[in-house]
A and B are shown apart, each in its own frame.
Chain A
Amino acid sequence: MERDALIDLRGVEMHFNMSRERLDSLKEYALRLAKGRLLYEDFTALAGIDLAVRRGDVLGVVGLNGSGKSTLLKIVSGILRPTRGTVRVEGTVAPLIELGAGFDLELTARENIFLNGAVLGHSKREMRARFEEIVEFSGMRGFLDVPMKNYSTGMVARIAFSVATCVRPDILLVDEILSVGDHQFVKKCEERIAGMMAEGTTVFLVSHDLAEVRRLCTRAIWLERGRIRAEGPADAVCAAYEAGG
């Protein structure tokens, strides 16, 4: 076990059962039990993941669709508990995985900022203190009291990103969330993320944009069908991925 690692994954495995839909009633369950087969179709999304990330690392995660990148981030954030293996994460985590959790589009942006903050575990006082900054960063001041169902996708993402990054975390998990913003806002987001990196925040960056990975990341891993195919300096891993993927 790495001593100074902020994130330490050992032998992590994640299984999903794909046929679960058909087994959610008691009748089905009883029938299957009677037939003596309660076997699910097991799908291994991640296997044999050993990974240590140190303070200040900026780790890029690349791989084809369905290779397990989002699953890996969800395990680090604690949304998913791995089927096997151990996960140790030290410090506060800001997950930019699925933004806007808990948004109720019937409510106004003002109400949603507080709701989303609450979902992320912030207190009322913290949210009051940061409200101004959140509104300022989102650039949505003019639309604060409009129900969010009248927002465009990008506008919702602006609010969500602003809330998610209002507290400087120890660990930032970014999963392709910048795709819906306009270039102006994406630039602002990247600046904020870069600022956090400069202050020593550890970052997990999932991206299909290899130029971005090369630019921002110090290290990278390449996931292939749930396993780590390559690990090392971002440049080398990206080059291998381009050549082999």
Chain B
Amino acid sequence: MRTKEAAAGLLRYRFLLANLILKDLRLKYRRSVLGVLWSVLNPLLMMLVMTAVFSRIFRVAVENYPVFYLTGSTLFAFLGEATTGAMGSVTGSASLLRKVRVPKSVFPLEKVLFASVNYLFSLVAVVVMFVVLGQPFHWTFALFWLPALFTGAFALGVGLALASLSVFFRDIVHLYSVLLVAWQFATPVLYPYEALPESIQALMIWNPMYHYVQVARMVLMHGIVPSAKEMAVCAGMALAALALGAAVFRAKRDRFVLYV
């Protein structure tokens, strides 16, 4: 019942949602000569650095490292941007919260959607690299939205919880930025799963981002449709995060205005 009401509230405020996303986009690309192109260029430049470091210097044994890296790192960057944005979204909207009544979940949701738009731009970088390196396109590339959807839903759940907590404990922001770096190293983004010791491989099944990155590489790189079981695991983890994050947010949202 409350979920239904919340959904109706959000629907009514979709124009606000659209406006906030546009505002963020304008802010991000204002005064930069290359504009939106940066969303494409940034992952590509990053890829050059990582390829040089990991493929040439550390000699990580992966076929077609640039594509391997790019398919994983763009998805992880999406998670990072979405959760970090959502975390600061409530405290960042203090002036609005104090002045009008709006469904408070608009703010984290907006940041996750904004990050999704940026993820789409960065997928252009992936396409460019496929073309440049002669990587074949499989039909499954059209399923790119699948890992994005899982990651987005998962990030929204994490973001809702972080947004609530950061209202009361501002230093969560600093802790999380460190945690995010650790999390990326704990996820096979820069190196392949096979490079991990077996004991750690066994732990990987508990890392949602491991699953989402795997699925992204399956559909983008390898032309494999993930198994029903794999998809169920992905969706289950996303829904669990969403339920937990929403519960935390709902429990705390009435007190936000007193602390921002």
List residues of A whose CB falls within 8 A of some B CB. 16-17, 20, 24-27, 29, 77-81, 93, 95, 97-98, 101-102, 104, 114-115, 117-124, 127
> Is A24 a contact of B102 with CB atoms below 8 Å?
no
Q: Shortest distance in angstroms between A206's beta carbon and chain B's nearest beta carbon?
A: 15
18 A-B residue contacts at CB 8 Å? A24-B170, A25-B169, A26-B171, A26-B172, A29-B169, A77-B101, A79-B99, A80-B257, A81-B254, A98-B99, A98-B100, A102-B96, A117-B15, A119-B16, A121-B13, A123-B14, A123-B15, A124-B15
Known: A77-B101, A102-B96. A121 touches B258 (CB 8 A): no
Docked complex Cα distance between A102 and B171 (Å):
26
> Is B258 a contact of A20 with CB atoms below 8 Å?
yes
Q: Shortest distance in angstroms between A132's beta carbon and chain B's nearest beta carbon?
A: 18
> Is A120 a contact of B100 with CB atoms below 8 Å?
yes
> Is B19 a contact of A118 with CB atoms below 8 Å?
yes
B23 at interface (Cβ–Cβ under 8 A)?
Answer: yes
What is the predominant secondary structure among interface residues of chain B facing chain A?
helix
Q: Out of B15, B170, B257, B259, name the residue touching A122 (CB < 8 Å).
A: B15
List residues of B whose CB falls within 8 A of some A CB. 12-16, 18-19, 23, 95-102, 168-172, 175, 254, 257-259
Q: Out of B19, B172, B258, name the residue touching A114 (CB < 8 Å).
A: B19
Contacts of B257 in A (CB 8 A): 79-80
Contacts of A29 in B (CB 8 A): 169
Q: Out of B16, B98, B169, name the residue touching A24 (CB < 8 Å).
A: B169
Contacts of B96 in A (CB 8 A): 101-102, 119
Q: Shortest distance in angstroms between B7's beta carbon and chain A's nearest beta carbon?
A: 15
Q: Shortest distance in angstroms between B8's beta carbon and chain A's nearest beta carbon?
A: 12
Measured CB to CB, the nearest residue on chain A to B101 is A78
Q: Shortest distance in angstroms between B98's beta carbon and chain A's nearest beta carbon?
A: 7
Q: Shortest distance in angstroms between A190's beta carbon and chain B's nearest beta carbon?
A: 23
Q: Shortest distance in angstroms between B6's beta carbon and chain A's nearest beta carbon?
A: 14
Q: Out of A101, A117, A127, name the residue touching B99 (CB < 8 Å).
A: A101
Docked complex Cα distance between A104 and B24 (Å):
12
Contacts of B171 in A (CB 8 A): 25-27
> Is A118 a contact of B15 with CB atoms below 8 Å?
yes
Docked complex Cα distance between A78 and B13 (Å):
16
Q: Shortest distance in angstroms between B15's beta carbon and chain A's nearest beta carbon?
A: 5
B12, B95, B98, B99 — which one has the most chain A CB atoms within 10 A of its CB? B99
Q: Shortest distance in angstroms between A175's beta carbon and chain B's nearest beta carbon?
A: 11
> Is B100 a contact of A79 with CB atoms below 8 Å?
yes
Contacts of A27 in B (CB 8 A): 171
Contacts of A117 in B (CB 8 A): 15
> Is A26 a contact of B259 with CB atoms below 8 Å?
no
Contacts of A114 in B (CB 8 A): 19
Docked complex Cα distance between A93 and B14 (Å):
19
Contacts of A20 in B (CB 8 A): 258-259
Docked complex Cα distance between A25 and B23 (Å):
30
Q: Shortest distance in angstroms between A90's beta carbon and chain B's nearest beta carbon?
A: 15
Known: A115-B19, A122-B15. A101 touches B100 (CB 8 A): yes
Q: Out of A25, A79, A104, name the residue touching B101 (CB < 8 Å).
A: A79
